[in-house]
Amino acid sequence: MLEITRIRAEKDALIEGLKKRGVDFSNQLNQISTLDESWRSKKTEMETIQSESNKVSKEIGKLMGSGKKEEAEVAKKQTAELKKKEQSLKDEVIELEAKIQELLYEVPNVPLEIVPAGKSEEDNITIEEVGQKVKFSGEALPHWELAKKYDLIDFELGVKVTGAGFPFYKGKGAKLQRALINFFLAEAEKAGYTEYIPPLMVNEASGIGTGQLPDKEGQMYHATKDNLYLIPTSEVPLTNIYRDTILPDENFSIKMTGYTPNFRREAGSYGSDVRGLNRLHQFDKVELVRIEHPNNSQKALEEMVNHVKGLLEKLGLQYRILRLCGGDLGFTSAITYDFEVYSAAQEKWLEVSSVSLFETFQANRLKLRFKNDKKKTQLCHTLNGSALALPRILAALLENYQTPEGIEIPEVLEDYLNFKEIK
C-alpha cells in the first residue's frame, strides 16, 4: 500500500510512474488527496475542540470549589455541546479514514525506474538466456505422455477424486517430486535461510497484509464458514510472521524459506497452456522471503536472482530471465524478474519462478517497521521469490532428460533418490 505521506509529497510523480502499468490511476490518487485534506482539516478541528473541552472541564471543578454553582452549570452545558461536536467530528474522521483506506487498497505499487512500460507479457524484456536446446535422437514426448508411460503422475485420478488441476503423483514420480523439494530446501539452508513449515490457511488480516486481499481476480480459495483462505504461496504466512512488528534496530536481514502446497483457482484459462503440469490448482513450491533494510534490498534482490540461477544451472536446464514490464507486474511488486525454462518437447518457455522486490508496499500494510539510528520507526522492505515452483520444473526435467530408454536423473538429485533413472 502506498504511504499517504508519499502521496502528499509526490502525487504527480506517482501518477506518472503508475502509467507504466498501462492504467491511469490519477482519479484514485486525486480522490485520496482530496479526502486526505478533509481528514486533516477535520482532525485538527476535532483536536482543537477536544482541547477546549478539556480546558472548560477543568474550570468546572474550580468554579464548584469557589461556590460559583451557576457559572459551573453554564460551563457544564458548554462542555456537553463541545463533546457533542467532538463526537460528530470523530465520526467524520473515522469515515474519511475508511474511504481513504478503501481507495489505497485499489492502487498498486509504483514500478521502479528500470521497469519497462508495457501492457502485457509481450512487452517484457529478456535480460539473459543460458543453455542450449536439447536435441533428441527420436520423437520427444510431452511430460503428460511420459507421466502416463512410466506411471509417474495420474491426472485422470485427480479429476475423479477432486477435479482438474489436482493430480496424483505416484511411485518414482512422487519420489522425484520429494527429491526436488529437499534439494531446494537444502540449497536455501546453505544460503542462510531459516526453514519454516507454515500453516496452509491464513486469516483475512494476513491476506490483506501481503496484498492478496482484497482478491480482485478471485484467485484464492475461501473457507467461508471460518473466513480463512488457502494460501496461494507460502510468502503469505511467512511474511505475516512480522505483521505489527517493530524490529529493535537497523541491524537486521531476515531470510526465511518454506515448502508448502499452494492453492490457486487460476480461472479462465484453457488449451495446451493448462495441459498436464503446466497449470494446476494445487502445486508444490519452495519459497524464499526476505525482510531487509531499505539500503540493502537491491543487493538482496540480486542475491535472490543469483540463487535461482544457481538452482537451474545445477539441474542442467536451459533458462532465461525476464524483467517484467509494468503491465505484467503483480499488484504489490515494484520490480519482478521471471525465470522460464525451455520445454524441448512442447517447444515453449515455462515460467518457474518470480523474484520480486516490494519496497515498502507490503510493509506499510503489515505495519512492519524498524527503529533507525535516530530511534524513529521506519518501514522495512520485503522481497520474495520462488526457489522453485515444482510443476513446470518437473515437466521440464521429464521432457528434457528423456531418452529412448527412459528418463535420466540430474546428477545433483542422485543423493536424494534411490534410483538414477526411470525406465
351 marked among binding-site residues: yes
Cell readout for 272 is 495446451
384 marked among binding-site residues: yes
Which phi-psi region, left, alpha or beta, contains residue 75 (left: φ > 0; alpha: ψ -120 to 50)? alpha
| CA–CA dist 198, 188 (Å, integer) | 16
283 neighbors 262 (Cβ within 8 angstroms): yes
Cell readout for 318 is 536451459
178 marked among binding-site residues: no
| CA–CA dist 143, 319 (Å, integer) | 18
365 marked among binding-site residues: no
> Please, what sign has the CA dihedral across residues 233, 237, 243, 248?
negative
First to last CA, the chain: 52
Q: C-alpha distances in angstroms, 286 versus 139, 257, 291? A: 32, 7, 17
| CA–CA dist 422, 2 (Å, integer) | 51
73 marked among binding-site residues: no
Cell readout for 109 is 505499487
379 neighbors 247 (Cβ within 8 angstroms): no
234 marked among binding-site residues: no
Residue 251 has a CB neighbour count (10 Å cut-off) of 8
Residue 195 neighbours by CB under 8 Å, 6+ apart: 185, 188, 189, 256, 257, 258, 259
264 marked among binding-site residues: yes
DSSP bridge pairs for 255: 290
126 neighbors 337 (Cβ within 8 angstroms): no
For residue 376, give the amino acid letter. Answer: K
352 marked among binding-site residues: yes
Summarize the annotated binding site for L-serine as residue ranges.
233, 264, 287, 384
Summarize the annotated binding site for ATP as residue ranges.
264-266, 351-354
Summarize the annotated binding site as residue ranges.
233, 264-266, 287, 351-354, 384
